[in-house]
Structure 1
Amino acid sequence: MHLTHLGHACVLVDTGSAALLIDPGVMSDIDGVDGIDAVLLTHKHPDHVDAEKVRSLLADSPRAALVAPADLGEAVPGLPAHQVAEPGETLKFGDTVVDVVGGRHATVHETIPGCVNLGYLIDGGAFFHPGDSFHEPAAAVGVLAVAIDGPWLKIAESIDYVRRVAPRVAIPIHEGETLDPAKYVGMMSNAVGGGVVRRLDRGSATRL
């Protein structure tokens, strides 16, 4: 499996059987991305979905599926027609299997309304993108995408999340709004130990 971090929460997953792009939002750089099989959206927030970027992706990959949670269509004007996914469903692209899990966005504050948030578990746990949540899948996880910054978390929660899920590798994401992501990556790496945390070079495919 090759993973490419394209900024903030956006990750391109190439399984060898399918190329899946997760969460192309306003802070991601998708220039040059084409030939993908699916765009998977976790939730409706602009840092995870940019309708203009999605339209561009689908124009360059006209056979690609667009998958989104139930409340995203009304919340994102201009979003193309898409397949609505629900937790518990299983999707297949080529020989790649994607289990839809999760349900709700992590709480920002009790006064702020939440929203649907899907997680995508790829090939039985080879890779897991939880969106903006600390969802713990039932399957063992090989590579976990873990948020390190945002209004809904503190770094201690992300560290504890990595410890609970216990992936082989944790790749930090969701760093587009912090000026010093290396600081948070370092804190997580020191706390988790064992070389588990691996920061991907932005825009470069890495085999994991």
Structure 2
Amino acid sequence: MKSICVYCGSSPGASPVYAEAARALAGQMVQENIALVYGGGNVGLMGIVASEVMRLGGQATGVIPHALLDKELGHHGLTELHVVKDMHERKALMAELSDGFIAMPGGMGTLEELFEVLTWAQLGFHAKPVALFNVDGFYGLLIAFMEHMVTQRFVSAEQALLMMHETDAVALITRLQQFTPTYRSKWHDPEAVQNLLP
């Protein structure tokens, strides 16, 4: 695994535990010689994880739209900063540059990015690992809601496993590195497609 895309908040959050986790994740990525791909900002958890990667001698690539370059204070101390035209191009390039995805604590943008790459995995558009960094139980309710979607038969148990989660940076990176894709798109599974029919 050469690079991981990290989705996270443009805010540092309410507790210092989130910044500590961002630094721990950055340290583990640099130790494993894994480059960071992220949203290109210099604020909040985004700025913390990127600055720590660079401070430790790692590589960080940012991808930011023109419209957010000033608002999110684009990070100019990176290995590389791509300035793109819009959010669609941003997300597509981040996905293209990455071998896996991690969602740290964040807000609506983080959730949108997380579920987009999960949906792409569900549909078989990619076979890359997707995981939550469940810092201090931040994603506990989301994990429970995923289980609720399974019990209500909107998501299969196999599809739910596409959203891995760990509470420790070392375990998280290990999990992504050991990931072996086993899920096939529901569109290529005759039984699953049959289940979609009335």
- TM-score normalized by the length of structure 1: 0.47
Which structure is larger by alpha-carbon Rg, 1 or 2? 2
Relative to its length, the structure with more helix (as a share) is 2
Taking CA–CA contacts closer than 8 Å with sequence separation of 6 or more, which of the two structures ends up with the larger relative contact order?
Answer: 2
